Amino acid sequence: MSDQPTAGGFDGQDHLLPVRVYYEDTDFTGLVYHGSYVRFFERGRSDFLRAVGIGHAELLAGDQPMAFVLATLNLTYLKPARIDDALIVRTRYRAIKGPRLLIDQVIERGGEALCRAEVTAVCIHLDGRPRRPTRALVAAVKPWLTET
């Protein structure tokens, strides 16, 4: 057994990341707290990049250091998740437009959508100014984009 956590895998253009709901992810009702969905979506986006060979640490340490900020994060809650649920975070990178990455995500349980996210991430210089993504990032993500 590997001591490395899974970064998930691909199903067509979608990256799938399994996550388990733990006690810390829930609110006093036993349902997943709304902010936990944001963390699950972040893991999906990060592990998509990790799976295509782009790690956040490498982006920061590169000769053209860069990071990401979110310009928009629109969530639609459909059904609740509960403690011990096995979920799938489905992530699809749609397009790169200038400094922006357009991303669609959904959290599923047993194939049923529980929460949807429309995300616009922006590539930035470390001083916060927008910048175009590195060539390496574009090359790694381009085969997975669903819009051209």
* Catalytic (active-site) positions: 27
127's CB contacts (< 8 A; 6+ apart) are none
Joined tokens for residue 102: 């357009």
Query: What type of residue sits at position 30?
Result: G
Region for residue 30 given its phi and psi (left: phi exceeds 0; alpha: psi -120 to 50; beta: otherwise): left
52's CB contacts (< 8 A; 6+ apart) are 140, 141, 144
77's CB contacts (< 8 A; 6+ apart) are 34, 37, 114, 115
